[in-house]
A and B are shown apart, each in its own frame.
Chain A
Amino acid sequence: MAKELVKGNEAIARAAIKAGCQCYFGYPITPQSEIGEYMGANLPKLGRVFITAESELASINMVIGAGTTGTKAMTSSSSCGIALMQEAFSAMCCAEVPGVIVSVMRGGPGLGNIAPAQGDYFQALKGGGNGDYKLIVLSPSNVQEAIDLTYRAFHLALKYRNPVMLLADGILGQMMEPAEFGEYPYKDPDVNEWALSGANNRPARNIVSLHMPEGEMEQRTNMLFEKYAAVAKNETTFEEYMLKDAKLVLTAFGTVGRVAKAVVNRAREAGMKVGLFRPITLFPFPDKNLHEVAKNADMILDLELNMGQMLLDVRSAVFGACPVEFYGRPAGGLLTPDMIFEKVQELYKKLDDKTKAGVI
């Protein structure tokens, strides 16, 4: 199939439909409204369900309802809208309800603005919901990856019976570039073993997030974390670029990753040994892989459109193997190739000076 020009938000919506999404529940918010628009125009034609909910809280709880029946369902929102869904994410994880959430980040905190940002890494990964739980979080850096990871989100949600978040930003949502859809590449597991499908002579089933008997919740949490360990073992993905001899390694997620990649190219042309490590799954975070990279590097520069959020996971993965620097801008401030290149030159010079002085 040839590549076609497609907008990020529309690409996500189209991929969701191709992935077999039966229900979309959402409430409009910039910069992701085109997802709901596309779903509204197309799902009913296919005999599927589209509902403009009265709030984000309603949207995600409708996803829970559909999810308990094993139906592929999704919602999408942005920053302050996602904030309203946190309680439900925790409940979904506890009750093992599958569902796909698309978060297209804008500037915050508060209602913030509608400019692109990456300030919701903590929101997605460290959660505002209660208790020990984890969303599976996927981070696309271009429109093609937005399509591929939307497919993957629907599959992983059913495979692990867990909510999966596609964490994009306003740049990716609003931009157009060539991409291709292909076919939904996964074989999904049978949901009949657990789904609420009407008992009809089989024993009744109950999907709940309340476990009062002594020890039951502890046991359940341990079970969930065994599952998360399996997710980490099986599903961790990342991009490595020019890392073999890299002295300075850039880390970045989402659209910043593509900018960083161009800076690596430019730095290489200028004779600097710079590489890129880009996590594609944010949970599971590729911590072991990044640690190995850090052992062979002299320095890591973490780049984000926030005040340093993934930075905590980067530092934790690096665990002292090399120094970690941070460069970021929040709430709509953008990192251009020129700005990153300047920072790379500055840090690389420091490394060179240290090498000359025999420190490294």
Chain B
Amino acid sequence: MGADMSVIISGFGGQGALFAGILLCHTAVLEGKYTTWFPSYGAEMRGGAVNCSVNISDKEVPSPIIDKADAVIALNDASQIKFENRVKPGGFMIVNSSLSHIKPKRTDIKYINIPLNELAQKLTQPAFVNVMALGAFIEKTGILKLESIKEVMKEMAKTVSAKKAALLPNNLECVEFGANLIKNQMVTV
């Protein structure tokens, strides 16, 4: 299937799971790839559970809905429980160990435990756990370039309010830090 990659990003409303998916898609578009984003939708609210499915491919994406994913990013414990069985054998799950202390159930997938809240809050205020997780995901898979997602962030910052645009440096720092966690083997992969 070539450079196919499917990932489910899940968390509670406000953590930026949906936005993280949109960032990934924009990055894929920038790199000339096919991509789809599909959210859980409807009766969602801040604090409730939300997730999105993202496909990145060199070929047309058949279905935006992911049955089994190559990877899952679980930003909280509920997400780990909900999507643990949706990772393909041999795939991996990034778990936000700041908010999840659940024992892994599977032996045929890899768990990458990152205390995203602690690390991000130490790094910047306000902190962006979603973006830090993306940095780790990109570095781990190599499906997209770190430079591309940074470029997307910079472009996006031009289109939002000054208040939001001021958070660009924090976002850039978080995504870079996430990538370095994998690159420098600061977490068990």
Identify the A interface with B (CB < 8 A).
3-5, 30-31, 114, 170-171, 174-178, 255, 258-259, 261-263, 334, 336-338
Q: Which residue of B lies closest to A339 (CB)?
A: B67
Q: How far is the CA of A334 from the CA of B42 in the complex (A)?
A: 17
Q: In the complex, identify which listed stretch (B28-36, B97-105, B122-130, B160-168) lies at the interface while the others stay far away.
A: B28-36
- Which of these, B29, B39, B62, B64, contacts A4 with CB under 8 Å? B29
Q: Which residue of A lies closest to B27 (CB)?
A: A5
A170 contact set on B, CB distance < 8 A: 41
Q: Which residue of A lies closest to B66 (CB)?
A: A336
* Closest chain B CB from A9 CB (angstroms): 10
Q: Which residue of B lies closest to A260 (CB)?
A: B62
B22 at the A/B interface (Cβ < 8 Å)?
A: yes
Q: How far is the CA of A93 from the CA of B36 in the complex (A)?
A: 37
Q: Is the CB of B62 within 8 A of A175?
A: no
Q: Which residue of B lies closest to A142 (CB)?
A: B60
Q: Which residue of A lies closest to B62 (CB)?
A: A262
* Closest chain A CB from B8 CB (angstroms): 14
Instruction: Jot down 26 A-B pairs with beta carbons below 8 A, ordered by A.
Output: A4-B29, A5-B22, A5-B25, A30-B41, A31-B41, A114-B41, A114-B42, A171-B65, A174-B38, A174-B39, A174-B41, A175-B36, A175-B37, A175-B38, A176-B25, A176-B36, A176-B38, A178-B34, A178-B35, A258-B60, A258-B63, A261-B62, A263-B62, A334-B65, A336-B65, A337-B63
The interface bits of chain B over 25-61 (1 if a CB of A lies within 8 angstroms of the residue's CB, else 0) are 1100100001111110111000000000000000011
Q: Is the CB of B38 within 8 A of A3?
A: no
Known: A30-B42, A114-B42. A259 touches B63 (CB 8 A): yes
Identify the B interface with A (CB < 8 A).
22, 25-26, 29, 34-39, 41-43, 60-65, 67
Known: A4-B29, A30-B42, A114-B41. A176 touches B63 (CB 8 A): no
Additional A-B contacts beyond A176-B22, A259-B62, A337-B62 (13; CB < 8 A): A5-B35, A114-B43, A175-B64, A176-B37, A177-B36, A177-B37, A177-B64, A258-B62, A259-B63, A262-B60, A262-B62, A336-B63, A338-B67
Q: How far is the CA of A239 from the CA of B106 in the complex (A)?
A: 43
B25 contact set on A, CB distance < 8 A: 5, 176-177
* Closest chain B CB from A259 CB (angstroms): 5
Q: Which residue of B lies closest to A7 (CB)?
A: B37
Q: Is the CB of A171 within 8 A of B64?
A: yes
Q: How far is the CA of A158 from the CA of B62 in the complex (A)?
A: 34
A171 contact set on B, CB distance < 8 A: 38, 64-65
A261 contact set on B, CB distance < 8 A: 60, 62
* Closest chain A CB from B152 CB (angstroms): 10
Q: How far is the CA of A263 from the CA of B60 in the complex (A)?
A: 12
- Give the top 10 A-B pairs by smallest Cβ distance, nearest first: A262-B62, A176-B37, A114-B42, A175-B64, A336-B67, A175-B38, A259-B63, A177-B36, A178-B29, A30-B42
* Closest chain B CB from A303 CB (angstroms): 12
Q: How far is the CA of A337 from the CA of B38 in the complex (A)?
A: 16
* Closest chain B CB from A242 CB (angstroms): 14
Q: Which residue of A lies closest to B39 (CB)?
A: A174
Q: How far is the CA of A261 from the CA of B59 in the complex (A)?
A: 12
Q: Which residue of B lies closest to A106 (CB)?
A: B42
* Closest chain B CB from A61 CB (angstroms): 28
B36 contact set on A, CB distance < 8 A: 175-177
Q: Is the CB of A177 within 8 A of B65?
A: no
Q: How far is the CA of A177 from the CA of B54 in the complex (A)?
A: 10
- Which of these, B41, B61, B67, contacts A177 with CB under 8 Å? B61
Q: Which residue of A lies closest to B68 (CB)?
A: A338
Q: Which residue of A lies closest to B38 (CB)?
A: A175
Q: How far is the CA of A174 from the CA of B37 in the complex (A)?
A: 8
* Closest chain A CB from B154 CB (angstroms): 16
A258 contact set on B, CB distance < 8 A: 60, 62-63
Q: How far is the CA of A177 from the CA of B62 in the complex (A)?
A: 12
B64 contact set on A, CB distance < 8 A: 171, 175, 177, 255
* Closest chain A CB from B85 CB (angstroms): 15
